Amino acid sequence: MANKLVIIDTDCGIDDAQAVMMALAAPNLEVLAVTCVFGNASVENVCQNVLRVLSVCERQGIPVFQGSAGPLVGLSSPFSDHFGGDGLGDVIEDKDPQWKEKIQQEHAVDAMIRLASKYENQVSLVALGPLTNLALAVRLDPRFPQKLRELFIMGGNMEGKGNATVCAEFNFAMDPESAYIVLEDFVCPTYLATWEYSGRNALTWEFFEELVNQDSPAARFMKTVTSKCWAYSKEAMKKKRDVHFGPGFVSYDSYAMAACVDGSTVLESVECPVRVELQGSMSRGMLVLDRTESLKKSHAVRVMTKCDVEKFGRLLMDSLKQPRRK
């Protein structure tokens, strides 16, 4: 059976890096491109982070495209320090002065449209950051969503509990208009790995220690970038996450990637129309699930609710092993 063709759109922080490594290790995926967007860090830092991940995995041949540096409307919010100022824990000192020469000249949005047109109905798009690039793509090419095979999104929330604002999840809060456009206009099969889905399907900290202590360059890289990051501190995250989910290790973006790699990692989901709130003074960016069909929308999305944590853990563990698939 032919490999699944994938474009990864990312604001590459540490958990994005783990998700990208999962895709690179999957024997059934062929990564056509990685497109970059602002989010966990500036888009310039995101590009450098992606290049570093591909280098660690010896996959420098995959093209990387620079995309949106800010949201569709208004000014960019301050970048989160969740994964450090550079998105990879602020521990990498040997920055590549020639990184710009390794980025493709074509804009990320143009590359998305070109590849989706070239491989019509074959490309799975995995979106791990703010959805700005995707919103621009559908505005430039209204048929872009129909050309995709499927769309996987890490973002949004099911219950109005936010991690970036009172009611909104980070990726959607960074560009609510883009999230709204994508979930209104993308009629291809769409799957959402929300904040709650990730948090409620956490792995143990003992698993995390085993994960990053494997003997491989990828594992050593992940151990380095998580070494000083408070988001990977067992005690810090226990205090922060007990409020909603309880203690545990969560690689947020990897849950969306796992669903793309192996759909059987998703044990349960809710299929219903959704909408992103734009007007509320406290609820702007919040994802609304329409379980009563009050919105009268023509299409629904699958919102993941229960994960096969054992299978998910195996995918993560395998992503940092050697040898890697070429």
Domain count, the chain: 1
Task: Go through 277-291 and write b for each residue having 16 or more CB atoms within 10 A of its CB, e for each that does not.
Answer: beeeeebbbbbbbee
Is residue 324, in this structure, part of any structural domain at all?
no
Q: Rounded to an integer, what distance in angstroms lies between the CA atom of residue 300 and that of residue 298?
A: 7
**Alpha-carbon span 81 to 89, nearest angstrom:** 9
325 in a structural domain: no
pLDDT of residue 139: 98
Report how far Cα 35 is from the mean position of its chain's Cα atoms.
Answer: 11
pLDDT at 50: 98
Structural domain contains residue 64:
yes
pLDDT at residue 14, rounded to an integer: 95
Q: Is residue 241 part of a domain?
A: yes
pLDDT, position 226: 93
Domain membership flag for residue 166: yes
Per-residue pLDDT of the chain (326 residues; tens, 9 = 90+): 569 999 999 999 999 999 999 999 999 999 999 999 999 999 999 999 999 999 999 999 999 999 999 999 987 666 566 777 788 887 887 888 899 999 999 999 999 999 999 999 999 999 999 999 999 999 999 999 999 999 999 999 999 888 889 999 999 999 999 999 999 999 999 999 999 999 999 999 999 999 999 999 999 999 999 998 777 777 655 555 545 566 789 999 999 999 999 999 999 999 999 999 999 889 999 999 999 889 999 999 999 999 999 999 999 999 999 655 55
Q: What is the pLDDT of residue 95?
A: 83
Domain with 179 in it: what CATH number? 3.90.245.10
Q: Which domain holds residue 142?
A: 4-319
- The pTM is what? 0.95
What is the spatial distance between Cα 105 and Cα 185, in angstroms, rounded to a whole number? 28
Looking at residue 266, the DSSP 8-state letter turns out to be: E
Question: Rounded CA gap, 155 and 178, in Å?
Answer: 12
pLDDT score recorded for residue 245: 67
Q: Whole-angstrom Cα distance, residue 118 to residue 256?
A: 24
pLDDT for 161 = 86
Q: Which two tokens stand for residue 121?
A: 């109905």
The pLDDT value given to residue 219: 97
Q: Is residue 326 part of a domain?
A: no
Contact 203, 212 (CB under 8 A): no
> Three-class SS of residue 279?
coil
Residue 120 lies in a domain: yes
* Inside any domain, residue 66: yes
In 3D space, the residue among 160, 161, 144, 127 whose CA is nearest the CA of residue 37 turns out to be 127
Q: With left for phi above 0 and alpha for psi between -120 and 50, is residue 30 left, alpha or beta?
A: beta
